[in-house]
Structure 1
Amino acid sequence: MPREQGRKLIAQNKKARHDYSIEDRLEAGIVLTGTEVKSLRAGRASLVDGYAFIEHGEAWLDAVNIPSYAQGTWTNHPPRRKRKLLLHRHEIDKLAGRVAQGGYTLVPLSLYFSDGRAKVELAVAKGKREYDKRHALRERQDKREADRAMRLRNRMGD
């Protein structure tokens, strides 16, 4: 049987892009149990409340909800357990340094399978204030209106 190829998206944290300004991104593997993998293959996961942290030189992902596998028995996993992230030592040290600066946090942006292996895309992010969120929303609306006006002007010229 051939191995899986490519990237299959499982879950995305769209709210993170609204609540945080993304500084840096990186990909990390996750240590999972068998029923967690089966549940992810069914496309069931939520990153909404998830966050990552560094403790004793190891990276951890917490509060990510991977629901119990429907056909699982006593081997089923707890849905919101702490999961270890697989990163190189220099990557962990770099992340620890950034988070220690203050104001920065590690946020999961997406969960996906890459060539059959479960991966999470982490972001080093800084929290936005309420006025920053309103400003970003206003900029998006202005850009959309300008694009609409340009399209209308181009149609009239034809």
Structure 2
Amino acid sequence: MGAQDRGRRGPAPQRTLAENRKARHDYFIEETHEAGIALLGSEVKSCRLGRVSLQDAYARVENGEVLLYNVHISPYEQANRWNHDPKRVRKLLLHKHEILRLYGQVRQKGYTLVPLRFYLKDGRVKVELALARGKRQYDKREAIAERDVRREIERALRTRVR
């Protein structure tokens, strides 16, 4: 047991920093991938404070890299003049075979890459990236109706048990 391992009891819990709830409403999520993200120091500090917005965020495969667009990470107040641009394009860290597989699916099947959440894992900021297919308006209505029916059933079961 090394000096770093002392006092550790299993894997550290993941702490969610930001979540894209609208993505599950707007897309059918086919599969998810965990990716690292290349951030500046002031961005990491701002992320730890939960100042991240994933609204309208998406990823693209360009030149053999996965780039993340439209993620707003608020400037860190204590960083003064060395602060970052809040909406800059950020690189996602994935293995080459994962990038090639995602590129093939996005190109052929009409999928899109959407970040679902930012979270901390072992002190590092990670992104849960989803391979998603867009929902049509009637799909969204069906999902809402299904959710309402499920709620009614749960409510009826709760009152029946008492």
**TM-score, with normalisation over the residues of structure 2?**
0.90
In the other structure, the counterpart of 1:49 is: 56
In the other structure, the counterpart of 1:17 is: 24
Instruction: Quote the offset at 1:110 in angstroms.
Output: 0.2
In the other structure, the counterpart of 2:153 is: 146
Instruction: Quote the offset at 1:140 in angstroms.
Output: 0.8
Larger CA deviation: 3-12 vs 119-128: 3-12
CA deviation string 1:85-105 (max 9, x = no partner)? 000001001100110124310
Superposition map of 1:1-158 within 5 A: 5-155=12-162
Between the aligned partners of 1:103 and 1:148, the Cα distance in structure 2 is 39
Aligned partner of residue 118 in structure 1, secondary structure? strand
Q: Give aligned pairs, total.
A: 154
Which residue identity lines up with residue 63 of structure 2 in the other structure? H
CA deviation string 1:114-134 (max 9, x = no partner)? 010010000000010111000
Aligned partner of residue 85 in structure 1, secondary structure? strand
Instruction: Quote the offset at 1:6 in angstroms.
Output: 2.5
Coordinate RMSD, CA, aligned: 1.6
Instruction: Quote the offset at 1:43 in angstroms.
Output: 1.4
Instruction: Quote the offset at 1:8 in angstroms.
Output: 1.3
Aligned partner of residue 23 in structure 2, secondary structure? helix
Aligned partner of residue 141 in structure 1, secondary structure? helix
Unpaired runs of at least 5, structure 1: none
Instruction: Quote the offset at 1:152 in angstroms.
Output: 2.8
Which residue identity lines up with residue 148 of structure 2 in the other structure? Q
**TM-score, with normalisation over the residues of structure 1?**
0.92
